[in-house]
Chain A
Amino acid sequence: MRGIKFSFLCKEKPQRTGKRVAIVGAGPAGLTAAGYLVCKGHDVDIYDKMPEPGGLMLFVIPEFRIPVERVRLGAKELEEEFEVTYYPKTKVMEGEREDEGDEFYERVVKLSELRENYDAVLIATGIWNVGRIGIPGDDLEGILSPLELLFWIKGAELGYVPKEKVPDLRGKRVGIIGAGLTAVDAAFECNRLGAEVEIFYRRTIREAPAGAYEINILRNRGVKWFELVTPKRVIGENGRVKAIELLRTRLGEPDETGRRRPVPIEGSEFQVELDYLVFAIGMVPTPPVNGSYIATDRRGRIVVDSRHMTSVEGIFAAGDVANGPTKVSRAIKDGLYAAVSIDRWLRGES
């Protein structure tokens, strides 16, 4: 197998410009931007809180979609052929905030320090948090965040997470709320580990972001698909999840996304018994700042202009941290165009 060739635009590093760029986050956006920038002769350092580069591609997305080796070899090529320096286990943060995967970092560097020490900074820290859904019982034991679950499974396979940490799902009833790609990936992995999986979605399969194709593959594998239901509360016993209470919904008028809004039907409550519950909704951007150092919007996304520049001159942002949850290709696209802007800016062209 060969690695993803992030430096696909050149054969070798051209003459050095002497400019230094720090990239925060070694996921698809960060690595792709690095590939472009080294092809323009800039020196690139990449900071990431995880123990090795790759981001969600390596630590969360299941192996059957993106092979670990493909990501690893790609990151290694940048290091060996293009002199990219990685600073793993290093969290970049201005202010404080706890995110998923925080157990791995050993050092903290301030974003403002990077801005002082480098000619430009690119933030590509993605979405390493999951928002609370805000229903009674949503903090019971046995409720797992999809990131945590997928990360434990993949991390155990990679040797970063002790095997004991992965719950033994064989024969267990796992409920998954949501029908995006994260929900589908969580369902695939739980199904593979022997769980009885049920997916609960508030609209119908026609509106499901992951699409009928993926969902029907899961159904062929024995995953149950439950549509037009919305969670009302989680029922616990001795502090642990025992069941979920759901309300049936019907589709009403279209909302701002053009999809018909689900309307809960009063008095339609029913319960489904569960051992684990995964809220695969609401992945939240995790910018390396908490406070007013750079501007973020209501949903936590970093605000950027058409050049991908943030509210601080010389700091750029790309990928999910600026867009919210999207697909790998969107992160790659953003990484490329942000890198084009950084290169131009460093050359004084805009």
Chain B
Amino acid sequence: MERKYLYLDYLTCIGCETCETVCDFIHDGSPHIRIYVTENKQYLPINCKHCDDAPCVRVCPTHAIYRDEDGAVRIHEDKCIGCLACLQVCPYGVPFYSLKVRAITKCDMCADRREEGLEPACALMCPAEAIQYGPLVMVLELVNERRAKNIPEHRRELGEEELRKSVSSGYVLL
């Protein structure tokens, strides 16, 4: 099976919170993608990045964290001892300990849905198409094309000073 990626393009995200809403809906009120609001009110969805060289997989003392055939980083709930070592090493602070399940819970790239041939819900419903799910080549091509498209538009519309400001501000207006 070809490795899949779930990529969140923060330059395209509009902070609408739809990803968290649908994730919350399919996980009965415990979303695996969560919006963090910064002090200046930037809305940032954070979920497991399913890292290539995932520190959580390496640090887990009971080998409870593994990669499934689509490439999702998953938890063996019965092997998890709740030591939170994965939380210590995750740069995104993603692993969430559920007292109900008594194991780490986190984004599994919609494992149940994938079994039925469905894709992760957040990627399907994002109004801005800021979340891509698919093989690496597909994700990279889409994001590369998006960035490349902006370059000539900017050169035509904006002066250098304006271009610098608009790029540094994080927003790219077509």
Contacts and interface: CB of A to CB of B under 8 A. Distances in A.
B127 A221 contact: no
B16 A333 contact: no
A171 interface: no
Contact of B124 (A5, A210, A327, A328): A5
B40 A216 contact: yes
B174 interface: yes
A26 to B, nearest CB: 14
Given A11-B117, A332-B18, A213 B38 contact: yes
A312 interface: no
Given A217-B169, A221-B165, A328 B18 contact: yes
A329 B129 contact: no
Interface string B17-57: 11011101110000000000010111000000000000000
B126 to A, nearest CB: 8
Interface in A202-244: 210-214, 216-217, 220-221
Nearest to A2: B129
Contact of B128 (A32, A70, A212, A214): A70
B128 A188 contact: no
A1 interface: yes
Given A211-B42, A220-B169, A11 B16 contact: no
Nearest to A63: B174
Contacts of A330: 17, 21
Interface string A104-135: 00000000000000000000000000000000
A66 B127 contact: yes
A4 interface: yes
Would you call the interface of chain B mostly helix, strand, loop, or mixed?
loop
Contacts, number: 89
A71 interface: yes
Interface in B120-174: 121, 124-129, 162, 165-166, 168-174
A8 B174 contact: no
A11 B173 contact: no
A63 B124 CA distance: 19
Interface string A307-340: 0000000000000000000011110110011000
A65 B38 contact: no
A337 B26 CA distance: 11
Interface residues of B, number: 34
B116 interface: yes
B40 A332 contact: no
Given A4-B127, A8-B125, A213-B38, A329 B16 contact: yes
A192 interface: yes
Contact of B22 (A8, A11, A192): A8
B21 A333 contact: yes
A333 B17 CA distance: 10
- A1, A192, A216, A333: which has the most chain B beta carbons within 10 Å? A333
A70 B125 contact: no
Nearest to B18: A329
B162 A221 contact: yes
Contacts of B16: 327-329
* 6 smallest beta-carbon distances between A and B, as pairs: A211-B41, A5-B124, A329-B17, A212-B40, A213-B42, A329-B18
Interface of A: 1-2, 4-6, 8-11, 28, 32, 57, 63-67, 70-71, 188, 192, 210-214, 216-217, 220-221, 327-330, 332-333, 336-337
20 contacts: A2-B129, A5-B124, A5-B125, A6-B125, A9-B26, A9-B121, A64-B172, A66-B128, A70-B129, A192-B173, A211-B40, A211-B42, A213-B42, A217-B171, A220-B165, A329-B17, A329-B20, A330-B21, A333-B24, A333-B25
